[in-house]
Structures are given as structure tokens and as C-alpha cells.
Structure 1
Amino acid sequence: MATIPKDYVNYKSTPIFTVENIPKMFLHHHNTRAGVYGKICVLQGQVKFYGFSDRRSDIEQEIIIHAGDSAISPPQYWHKVKFLTDDTQFQVCFYAQKDSQIVFDNLNERNLK
């Protein structure tokens, strides 16, 4: 599993997702954007993370993430998640290089609100 480089910072996070409010895209093949790591943090229950080497490939890795644990999806990595328990709750925190345009744009957007 990937690790987030030390010079990367958390620039935004999703709401806490449950089986009732999960955006469908998370349950199907999708990827993180260039320069962005996603940290999947399970707060309750369990999630299975599926990783793929490309959009149309077979499963490359499967990781069960338990409550209190997390897993990292590297930039531009195809993946999806599956709820393993009905009470599962998780959040995704996004990290980018601290001096990157992504972080700069996001901080400016926050300050305008």
C-alpha cells in the first residue's frame, strides 16, 4: 500500500459516508487525480478496497479496512470500495504537495466562503 509523502498536506475531506449517503461513484471504478493521494479512513464497520492497475484490468489488490484503520490510494490509481457491514462509516481525506496549485486553489476557495 502506498504512503503519503511527507511534504503533502490534507487540503480537503469528504463528509462521513454511510450506506445511505455514499455517492455511487465510490462504489465503481474511479481514480484519484494527478498529484493527489486519497486516505480512506474507516470510522465504524469495515470497507473493502479494490485496486486496479488500469481502468479495464482485473483486481490487482484487495484490502479490508477495519474501523480505526486507513488505506491510501495513490494519484491516478483506479479503485473502488465496498461496504462490508451495514453500519460502516468512512471518510476520504485528500492530500497534495503543500506548495501545489491544488492546495492553493482549495485554500482560496475556503477563504471565499
Structure 2
Amino acid sequence: MKQLPNNVTKYFQSETFTQDTVPDKLLHDHDTKKGTWGHICVTEGVLEYTTLDDQKTYTLTPEQSGVVEPEIKHKIQPKGEVRFYIEFYK
């Protein structure tokens, strides 16, 4: 998984989602806009993050966050009880 570039700045942070409040669109194929990076931060539990171009699945935990590259199709899947938020960078 890639790391956030050093030259990007956070411009938005989502609310904290749980397994019950995660927006449906995040559970299915979607992507970020050109030049927009995402940083998935799990504060409790486990979340699976899958990149669809290469079909790689990453297990995200409070110790292991996830980086979403611009324009890369991906989806997430809660694994039981989870709390997470997403930071967006340009």
C-alpha cells in the first residue's frame, strides 16, 4: 500500500462511522477524484480495504491505517464492530 505524499494537505475529515452507519456507497466500487488522496483511520475494530484494480485486500486496524490513491477503484467492508473515519488530502 502506498503512503501519503509529503506535499499534500488535509482539507476534510469525515464523521466517525460504525458498522451500522457506514454509507452504502463506501461498501461498493468507488474512487476519489483526480489529485485527492484518502487516509482511512480505524479507531476500533477491523475494516477490510480492497483495491479493485489489483484485487488486493488490506486489513485495517487502529495500528494499521489505509491510504487511498487518487482515482483508484476500491471498497471497504467492516469485520464486526468497527469505528473509523476518513481524512481527505490534496
Q: Which SS does the other structure have where 2:17 is aligned?
A: coil
Identity of matched residues, % = 26
For residue 83 of structure 1, what is the amino acid of its counterpart? P
Q: Residue in 2 aligned with 1:70?
A: 65
Q: Residue in 2 aligned with 1:48?
A: 48
TM-score by length of 2: 0.94
Q: Residue in 1 aligned with 2:14?
A: 14
Given that 1:32 and 1:77 are in contact with CA atoms closer than 8 Å, whether structure 2 keeps it comes out as yes
Q: Which SS does the other structure have where 2:18 is aligned?
A: coil
TM-superposed deviation, 1:23: 0.7
RMSD: 1.0
> Unpaired segments of 5 or more residues in structure 2?
none
For residue 20 of structure 2, what is the amino acid of its counterpart? E
> Unpaired segments of 5 or more residues in structure 1?
54-58, 97-113
- Is 2:24 the partner of 1:24? yes
Q: Which has the higher helix share?
A: 1
The alignment of Structure 1 onto Structure 2 pairs a total of residues equal to 90
1:81 counterpart (53, 76, 86): 76
Given that 1:19 and 1:83 are in contact with CA atoms closer than 8 Å, whether structure 2 keeps it comes out as yes
Rg (Cα) greater in structure: 1
